[in-house]
Amino acid sequence: MQCTVEILSIGNELLLGNTVNTNASWIASRVTALGGKVTRITTVADNLNGISQTIREALRRKPDFLITTGGIGPTFDDMSLKGVARALHLRIRVDKNAVEMLRAHYARRFPNQRIPLTKPRLKMASIPTSSTPILNPVGSAPGVRLIAHATEIFCLPGVPSEAKAIFQDTVSKAIKARSKGTVFVEKWFRVRGVPESSLAPEVSGVMRRWRGVYIKSHPRGIDMNGRPKIELHLSIASEKPREARSIVHSAAKDIRKRLIVLGAQVKP
């Protein structure tokens, strides 16, 4: 069975439309590739009550993992960790290991200077009790890891390069271990000349025949000749890689034949 993952993106800039939420899409694609299943992506503002309430709601759904991005920096509006602490009735304390991570970061970045750990910098080393800091190999603010009931929580920075680095180094290993060999197999088709309404019954027929295969159609407008353009995505998650590849291959052949009968042009 696939492990389940929820992603919580935190930041006013995401809700204002000033910043595209690339972290959520990238993390979702990596979780899927690792055999996990993203069941929800939520975006909230830099608001303490909103963050803590959203975390409590997520935990009631009992995902295997909850990954937050954003809000763990040195400024006043970075309040993700306080939100986690409030949701779980924990205190915030300066963690000595997180402090050492900060010292090491500034020593690497400014080798000939002594950077004081001011109050804003120590804020990045202040994490909920019962949690552990995660080394940030790119930036200053450590990530945070903790367990809440049946859910493992990872709090990552909002800077994409930092979020990706911590995910690759730490989060991906935890998801891979929990997914227990589940693989995600997929195949794409480009379809021309058939509207989505004509394609829909054939998609449903293939999904009924090949259990476990999910087919999603993505309309892409029309081509220069006025023909509908559609992309088809076939996928399956399974603990049996060889069988999964065989099923997707067979389903792809099936849908391809059906579409050609309809007069469509089909390309991989």
The pLDDT value recorded for residue 219 is 96
- Please tell me if the domain spanning 4-179 has the same topology as the one spanning 183-267: no
pLDDT score recorded for residue 67: 98
Mind giving me the DSSP string for the chain? ---EEEEEEE-HHHHHTSS--HHHHHHHHHHHHTT-EEEEEEEE-S-HHHHHHHHHHHHHT--SEEEEES--SSSTT--HHHHHHHHHT--EEE-HHHHHHHHHHHHHHSTTS-----HHHHHTTEEETT-EEE--SSSSSPEEEEEETTEEEEEE-SSHHHHHHHIIIIIHHHHHHHHTT-EEEEEEEEEES--HHHHHHHHHHHHHHSTT-EEEEEEEEE-TTS-EEEEEEEEEEES-HHHHHHHHHHHHHHHHHHHHHTT-EEE-
Query: How far apart are alpha carbons 159 and 74 in whole angstroms?
Result: 13
Q: Which two tokens stand for residue 42?
A: 């939520």
Over residues 220-242, the pLDDT tens digits come to 999 999 999 999 999 999 999 99
pTM of the model: 0.93
pLDDT at 136 (0 to 100): 97
User: Which pLDDT value is given to residue 2?
Assistant: 85
Predicted confidence at residue 112, as pLDDT, reads 87
pLDDT the model gives residue 168: 98
Place of tokens 């109050």: 119
* The CATH fold of domain 4-179: Molybdenum Cofactor Biosythetic Enzyme; Chain A (3.40.980)
Q: What is the pLDDT of residues 156-183, one digit of tens each?
A: 999 999 999 999 999 999 999 999 889 9
pLDDT at 268: 85
Q: What is the pLDDT of residue 181?
A: 86
Residues of the chain with pLDDT under 50: none
Domain boundaries, the chain: 4-179, 183-267
In CATH terms, 183-267 corresponds, of 1.10.1740.10, 3.40.50.10490, 3.30.70.260, 3.40.50.2300, to 3.30.70.260
CB-neighbour burial class of residue 32 (10 A; exposed 0-12, middle 13-18, buried 19+):
middle
